[in-house]
Structure 1
């Protein structure tokens, strides 16, 4: 182990700090990403998450309007699927519609027959 004089300590601490930062960066880069936790919700939890009554949610399940998994007599909802379901109902803003208009006109999809 190398001995440092009092005058050399600030430089040695600085070098040590740089090496630790480098080691930390290497560890963070080599760590596999943590997959998001799959969160399953019961009917009552899903109703609370969506701010709907349980009865309304049962109606949406019955009409196949909402993603659901069924195991036996129990219904389960993946929170991520519910979030996607909510996003799928998003209405476009006027700005988004104006931006899309040129591509609709050029492809002929905006024409009525």
Structure 2
């Protein structure tokens, strides 16, 4: 539909056209989201896990043995999920000096507002 054709008489036709276009866009977005979710849940082998987290095989085996790294075992093979490895990496974030400073200031502010007790009358 050409945008130059829109007038009061053909307004219902233009609205119907837009409703159809929005429905098609919605279908495309839903399909894109579903494929992304499905791709993340495909198990990967240890070589791919090494590549994702940037560690050598012996290190991966050590982390698995200590139960620090999320994995699955079927027979003698280890399997991993990419989303779980990325989550494991994000849990190990080191705080910046600014974040530590903000926490200290917030703690100091809350403690300074607390009434002082313990003095003798």
Compared with structure 1, are the counterparts of its residues 95 and 20 closer, same or farther at alpha carbon in structure 2 (3 Å cutoff)?
A: farther
Matched residues in 1 for 2:72 and 2:101: separation?
38
- Alignment RMSD: 3.1
Return 5+ residue gaps in structure 2 as ranges.
112-121
Q: Point out 4+ residue stretches in structure 1 off by more than 6 angstroms.
A: none
Q: How does the TM-score come out when normalised to structure 1?
A: 0.67
Return 5+ residue gaps in structure 1 as ranges.
1-9, 108-113
Matched residues in 2 for 1:22 and 1:101: separation?
53
What is the aligned residue count?
98
Deviation of 1:102 (Å): 4.0
**Structure that is richer in helix per residue:** 2
Point out the more displaced range, 17-26 or 33-42: 17-26
